[in-house]
Structure 1
Amino acid sequence: MLLGFKTELKLNNKQRKLLAKHSGVTRHAWNWGLGLTHQILDHNRDNPEDKIKFPTGIDLHKWLVALVKPVCPWYYEVSKCAPQYALRQLAEAWKRAFKKTSKPPRFKKKGRGDSFTLDGSIKLDHFKIRVPKIGWLRTYERLPDAYQPKSVTISRTADRWFISFKLEIEPFNTHKPYPVVGVDLGVKALAVLSTGIVVEGAKSYRKHEKKLSRWQWLNRHKVKGSNNWRKAQVKIARLHRQIANIRKDTLHKLTSYLAKNHSRIGIENLNVSGMMANHKLAKAIADGSPVLRVIIKSYELSQSPTV
């Protein structure tokens, strides 16, 4: 059984700069690989008699080493795993797009979803973790040092950095008191269970909407790129993070209750994109309900007895 663990890092300025370099190289490798694959697809579409084989993640990394690294020496300032995992994830994203299970990958922008993955000599030790090229990083909470992960993902939200990894543990709580439960998602209430339990949504966006609107309104005339503009952007990003964390807390508590106490979970198949087209309901739906179905689906895949 795989258990995910995510915690915030306690960093100094030097470490923050090094993490930013890793995320920058990862973003550059992703965008370079995405541009190259777009050129290959365009060539194959315009020249059907002279098609080029679509590259795998290994092929992209070989071309990166031969073509990009010689002209971009700052690639050698970070771990080789960062661009390697970026191209591997890009290849997987194209596979999902070709199978029509997801949309084609898009170019990444600085400051949005900054993250990178590392593997190798990783070691956990109480309140710190050692990762390749970067060294020891301190954390705010104690780490499960009884397990040693094979890879870690470091990501940034607003002005804070987080590290996450997967741990393989023995299954627990295999006995579940209730065999089946049905979940009805709604707008007024987050979910209504077939057992009669009504789960109210956190409605975190509704509670902070005025505050967020106020801060965005005050930021409208600031010069883009100035110090005051950057401070305001961080302030707004922190509020977005707070809204998301409140929503995630409510959803994880509900899905944990469902997974731990029920062997099978029945949930309606919602057309979320169609529901979001209704401008009268879109805000309420986006404030919680669609995310619940995604998280329940992830629990179903991780729990073998569930469906």
Structure 2
Amino acid sequence: MELLLSRAGEADPPPRTFGCVRKVYDLALAARTEAWAHLQAAFAGFFGKRAQYPRFKSRKKSRKSAEYTTSAFRFRDGRLILVKMAEPLDIVWSRPLPEGSVPSTVTASQEAAGRWHVSLLCEEPVLQPLPAPETAVGIDVGLHHLLTLSTGEKVANPRHERRDRIRLAEAQRQLARKAQGEGANRAKARRKVAKVHARIAGRRRDHLHKLTTRLVRENPTTVIEDLAVRNMVKNRSLARAISDAAWSEFRSMLEYEAQWYGREVIAVDRWFPSSRLCSACGILLDKMPLDVRTWTCVCGTTHDRDVNAAKNIPAVGLTASVCGADVRPQRSTPGGRSATKQKPLQRKR
């Protein structure tokens, strides 16, 4: 039963009270919705066999991050104020926001090295497609050279992890000598290891960004191999070098930057024998040991292993893209001769 406490205008509750109640409700609803969305994504990855079963978050090891919706922050004139904060954050912006855009979500996070990051989600104007020159490039990834292009250009592998391997090993040894627990010395040693990892990852990410941007700007179509990197890193002798090369990260950057500028990325089937196929006459060799870097075909053409593979990749990739067919290994040579009957490799010294 409801009781009428007062008439309108006579000792009414302050209007601010209703606003506070509405604010708390909206914040609680946003937090609940955000938590459900994140947990739903975790279960979707588990049932899709892309991730393990969701685990409880650890105070020490879990990524420290929080998302703020529009009701929990203010952004004006390049100054960001989060809820329950009187002063704006002291931020060094990596780049200005697109003109006229308004952030819809702010994510604040802290990496293991101790640095804080703020990410703003906003609508960005549609980028204008770049002019399309009549060129297509094939890319063969490797360890000695990070990339080999069908033009013959080779991009050196910076080997960022190897450059800081001694520093990383020393920091890890210092951490291993600290007593287990939550002591200040162990936390300090853990941050030192994290800083080395952050330095390596930052340099690698910067190099890949510059490289993929250049490739996207110069070529309307880029053809790459669809490598199973997750299976390749199971090789213990090559796992460290493959992880340092970051082939998966390179492909991810290449694909989304190509989408920005209206370019195309084509992935060739991983079983296509690009290294064993002569780019001049089309003869398929029976085998190609990894230690063979230069070889001479029966047609008389001398090939660099990586350049030859890079030349074969765009040819078959563009053909499959036009015809709509899958790119599968070639089982015999164009002349009908079996690949097993070819002459053995002639090693170039």
Q: Which residue of 2 aligns with 1:95?
A: 44
Q: Which residue of 2 aligns with 1:29?
A: none
SS in 2 for 1:212: helix
Change in Cα spacing, 1:239 to 1:204, as seen in structure 2 (3 Å) is: same
Deviation at 1:206, TM superposition (A): 0.5
Change in Cα spacing, 1:132 to 1:300, as seen in structure 2 (3 Å) is: farther
Change in Cα spacing, 1:118 to 1:277, as seen in structure 2 (3 Å) is: same
Equivalent of 1:117, from 67, 73, 81?
Answer: 67
Q: Which residue of 2 aligns with 1:227?
A: 184
RMSD of Structure 2 on Structure 1 (CA)? 2.6
Deviation at 1:269, TM superposition (A): 0.6
Deviates more, 1:99-108 or 1:171-180: 99-108
Change in Cα spacing, 1:289 to 1:84, as seen in structure 2 (3 Å) is: same
- Pair 1:156-2:113 in alignment: no
State the number of aligned residues.
Answer: 230
Deviation per CA, 1:100-140, whole angstroms, max 9, x where unpaired?
45554444333442222221145434552134455632212
How does the TM-score come out when normalised to structure 2? 0.59
CA contact (8 A) 2:216 2:263 kept: no
- Pair 1:264-2:213 in alignment: no
The residue identity in structure 1 corresponding to 2:38 is: Q
Q: Which residue of 1 aligns with 2:252?
A: 294
The residue identity in structure 1 corresponding to 2:264 is: T
Deviates more, 1:161-170 or 1:105-114: 105-114
Equivalent of 2:128, from 172, 181, 185?
Answer: 172
CA contact (8 A) 2:68 2:107 kept: yes
Equivalent of 1:128, from 69, 72, 79?
Answer: 79
Q: Which residue of 2 aligns with 1:204?
A: 160
Change in Cα spacing, 1:151 to 1:178, as seen in structure 2 (3 Å) is: farther
Q: Which residue of 2 aligns with 1:22?
A: none
Q: Which residue of 2 aligns with 1:24?
A: none
Q: Which residue of 2 aligns with 1:249?
A: 206
Q: Which has the higher contact order (CA 8 A, sep 6+)?
A: 1
Q: Which protein is bigger by CA-based radius of gyration?
A: 2
CA contact (8 A) 2:130 2:261 kept: no
Deviation at 1:89, TM superposition (A): 1.9
Q: Which residue of 2 aligns with 1:35?
A: none
SS in 2 for 1:137: coil
Stretches of structure 1 lacking an aligned partner (at least 5 in a row): 1-75
Deviates more, 1:243-252 or 1:291-300: 291-300
Q: Which residue of 2 aligns with 1:36?
A: none
What is the rounded CA distance, in whole Å, between the counterparts of 1:134 and 1:143 in structure 2?
Answer: 23
Higher helix share: 1
CA contact (8 A) 2:109 2:118 kept: yes
Deviation per CA, 1:143-177, whole angstroms, max 9, x where unpaired?
43642111122221121110112441231352143
How does the TM-score come out when normalised to structure 1? 0.66
Q: Which residue of 2 aligns with 1:275?
A: 232
Q: Which residue of 2 aligns with 1:306?
A: 264
SS in 1 for 2:145: coil
Deviation at 1:305, TM superposition (A): 3.7
Change in Cα spacing, 1:302 to 1:109, as seen in structure 2 (3 Å) is: farther
Stretches of structure 2 lacking an aligned partner (at least 5 in a row): 1-23, 266-349
Deviates more, 1:153-162 or 1:215-224: 215-224
